[in-house]
Amino acid sequence: MTPVHFAFSSAFLLGLTGLAFHRTHLLSALLCLEGMMLSLFIALSLWTLQLDTTNFSTAPMLLLAFSACEASAGLALLVATARTHGTDRLQSLNLLQC
């Protein structure tokens, strides 16, 4: 495993552990998701450049488009949650009250 692959793998795993263990605020969960998507985008871009083929050249842009849609949906949920509940803490959310 090269140092570049190790760096992006560890960045993804750090985002995943942050998402799994640091779930106090919705904003921190969204930031962990964005860090994971950023490491996946850079790793996929480098993989496409290393293979030197045009077959996978659209995959990083497609991932970036889905990442932007995920970010906008997450921010919309954050704003809606903050307006209805007054906070973005995940402990104040109850799925049974919906």
A 10 A CB-CB count for 58 gives 10
The pLDDT averaged over each successive group of 10 residues in the chain (98 residues) is 86 92 86 92 88 83 92 92 85 67
Quick one: pLDDT at residue 95? 62
Contacts for 35 with CB less than 8 Å, ≥ 6 apart: 11, 14, 15, 18
Domains of the chain listed by start with CATH number: 8-86 (1.10.287.3510)
Quick one: pLDDT at residue 1? 76
* SS3 per-residue string spanning 18-86: HHHHCCCEHHHHHHHHHHHHHHHHHHHHHHHHHHCCCCCCCHHHHHHHHHHHHHHHHHHHHHHHHHHHC
Quick one: pLDDT at residue 98? 53
